[in-house]
Structure 1
Amino acid sequence: MAIETAASRAYSPTVKEKVLFYILIPVFVIRLLAKLTFESNKALHWRQMLAANFLQAQRATFPATLITSNLRRTPSGKAIECYCAKHGIPYKAVTLEKTPDESKDASRLPVPPAALHFVTPPSATANGPTMLYFHGGGYVNPLRSAGHLPFVLRCAAACKAKEVVFLEYALAPEHQYPAQLVQAVATLRYFLHDLSMRAEDIVIAGDSAGGHLAGSLLAHIVKPSPYAPPLDLAGGQLRAVLFVSPFTMLGTNQGSYRTNDGRDYLNWIQVVRFRDDWNADEKDAWADICGGDGADIVWRKVFPASGQSAGLVKKAMVTAGSAEVLLDSCRVFATDCVKAEAVCVRRGADWSVFYGKDFVYAECEGEVHVQPALDSAMGYEHGAMMQAIMRWLESV
């Protein structure tokens, strides 16, 4: 049964919002047909184009508040529970007890306890790792089961995970920065202390804002923030971290915001809205994980240069699509922070290049923001980002 928390309460659209939605449907259909007719991104399969154009037309037609309201009708926990029930997948939910020192910044809103959702994938291997997944959505929107669940379960199968744990973090603007970091720290602490997991048996993955949260958590481990208690991996290394189209820079002055405007379904206006709702301190290395104060020192500790002491993570992968507005920031994070080897790929490439690589950045021709989630929602398994991730995870 889903746990009702401050992170999981659904939105109920008003009568005015419902009326507006139905009035705008014909406009949406016309825009979608126009986009499909004049689509110029030939690198994508038709199902990939349909998904991206659908989201573009949706964002161009409906007010952002109405889209958010509709998305929040099904909270993350409820979406996971219903998906598992429909597909006969074992599931349980746990709400962590809040410790007195979890949030030390009295100026911030109270942080609700973290809600965790344990899913045993059909492919579960008894001695496999545990995958901790942070979903995207700009810290404002919940998980979307049609895309996130099948994608994450494929990831779990590729790395032979014995279970997947989704953090249902509190959403902004009701719960702003650093609420999500506090909850992520509490989750990993629960794994290490209460469940007696070893760092070597944990794979952390996240897309978009979830990729940011994974990075924020790593930064906290090497440079404890004032918002949550320190974390100690007891000298161990996390087995792997996967960053899918991560949101790594709070500023929007990167060139890809202009060059990929109209190619990606995400745009700078939406990114700014998410950022403002989340209301992070741009000076914090746990917020602006590429440009915050001391971020360069943090990442030298997380991912030391070759030949130096071992870092926090044994293996890491960063992915981005060449049509993303976040492309430039993903490149900077992958090359400067993770020190990953860059590999540019397109559909039909030789995916064996990703097998066994410790630190790799996959830049996928023509693909958009978090392409594998869109592909999963459309039942398409052969996208470049999807194939690169699966091949890499097989050697984790």
Structure 2
Amino acid sequence: MAKTKQPPRTVSLGSGAYGHWIGSPGASHVLIWYHGGGFALPANRGYFKFFARLLADANKSQPNSLSVFCLSYTLAPHAQYPTQLRQAVDCLRHVLETHTPEKVLLGGDSAGGNLVGGVLSHLAHTHPEIKPINLSGAQIKGAIMLSPWTSLDSEFPDQDIDSRGDIVTEYVAGPWAGGYLGSAARDYYTDLSRAPTEWYASFPVERMLVCAGGTEIMLPLLEDLVGKMKAGRKVEFVVGERECHVAPVYHLYVGEGTETEQGKEVKVFLRECIGKAQ
């Protein structure tokens, strides 16, 4: 924030969670972002470069039309499921105090994409351990799932997966999944890929975008997830050719500034959602 000459705005959401405003809290639309990292790693500098790009693009033609509210949830194994999902829901609850659902978008990458699916699942099918949110028939404007980690399996014997050049492998997926779950049983909130088609059909969100890298280890799983979703609702799916897991963020983290195909599609999706809500 200092580098971009913006005042830091951090909000305590209670129970150890914090929300960070990038852009004005008074913007007409808010993109809530749940960061990835296997529930075990904090957000890195690449995320904030990514947010800056999204805001510059969205606000170019419509000033103050979008801000980002990024959640810092309690990392595993210091806390375990459903703590992070509860914090993600409470993050949305906080934003809904000042913005109506049709002015709110959800976004997340990898483990954060898991939380996007978990929050939408909670809105449609209340989690027994989390306080409900009543949207009164309204819908969230949009949801972005960037390489979402929606199956906590760490081995895929029945799928032909080539992870060369990827940043995620079965060697990290297993420990991260175990650290997040602890003693909890997996369910549709932790493993969205396991849910039946009717589970997704009732998600109260107007538009959904799922992105994946063409060379990432989870591509077959995401293709299967999107196929199931499309049987019950409309979902947009983009695969970035020769791109890795969470490429729009990872490229910026390592200093590669070339725009990714997935990043371009996220910008288009946001512009269209904001434009339709005016």
- Could you tell me the TM-score, scaled by structure 1's length? 0.62
1:190 to 2:94 alignment: yes
SS of equivalent residue, structure 2 residue 269: helix
> RMSD between aligned alpha carbons?
2.3
Match of 1:392 in 2: 269
Amino acid paired to 2:70: F
Q: Residues 148-177 of structure 1: CA distance to partner in whole angstroms, max 9, x if unpaired?
A: 111122223344443211110000011111
Amino acid paired to 2:212: A
Match of 1:149 in 2: 48
Match of 1:129 in 2: 29
Q: Residues 207-256 of structure 1: CA distance to partner in whole angstroms, max 9, x if unpaired?
A: 10001101100001111112211111121111111110100111234469
SS of equivalent residue, structure 2 residue 135: coil
Match of 2:70 in 1: 166
Match of 1:265 in 2: 167
* Identical aligned residues as a percent: 26
Q: Residues 111-152 of structure 1: CA distance to partner in whole angstroms, max 9, x if unpaired?
A: x2421111216xx9x65311101001000000001x111112
1:289 to 2:192 alignment: yes
SS of equivalent residue, structure 1 residue 94: strand
SS of equivalent residue, structure 2 residue 205: coil
1:376 to 2:252 alignment: yes
Supply the distance in 1 between the matched residues of 2:174 and 2:37 (Cα, whole angstroms).
13
Q: Structure 1 residues 137, 284: closer, same or farther in 2, change over 3 A?
A: same
Number of aligned positions between the proteins: 266
Q: Structure 1 residues 296, 163: closer, same or farther in 2, change over 3 A?
A: same
Amino acid paired to 1:322: G
Amino acid paired to 1:142: P
Amino acid paired to 1:213: L
The offset of 1:359, in angstroms, is 3.1
The offset of 1:339, in angstroms, is 5.4
Match of 1:32 in 2: none
1:218 to 2:117 alignment: no
Q: Structure 1 residues 88, 338: closer, same or farther in 2, change over 3 A?
A: farther
Q: Residues 189-222 of structure 1: CA distance to partner in whole angstroms, max 9, x if unpaired?
A: 2222xx2321000011111000110110000111
Match of 2:201 in 1: 300
Stretch moving more, 258-267 or 224-233:
258-267
Supply the distance in 1 between the matched residues of 2:135 and 2:258 (Cα, whole angstroms).
35
Supply the distance in 2 between the matched residues of 1:368 and 1:176 (Cα, whole angstroms).
27
8 Å CA contact 1:256–1:327 kept in 2: the answer is no
**Higher Rg of the two aligned structures:** 1
Match of 1:323 in 2: 215
8 Å CA contact 1:92–1:118 kept in 2: the answer is yes
Supply the distance in 2 between the matched residues of 1:286 and 1:131 (Cα, whole angstroms).
21
Q: Which runs of 5+ in 1 are unaligned?
A: 1-83, 98-111, 303-311, 342-357
Q: Residues 61-83 of structure 1: CA distance to partner in whole angstroms, max 9, x if unpaired?
A: xxxxxxxxxxxxxxxxxxxxxxx
1:177 to 2:81 alignment: yes
- Could you tell me the TM-score, scaled by structure 2's length? 0.87
Q: Which runs of 5+ in 2 are unaligned?
A: 60-64, 274-278
8 Å CA contact 1:334–1:340 kept in 2: the answer is no
SS of equivalent residue, structure 1 residue 155: helix
Amino acid paired to 1:300: A
Name which of 121, 127, 135 aligns with 1:233: 135
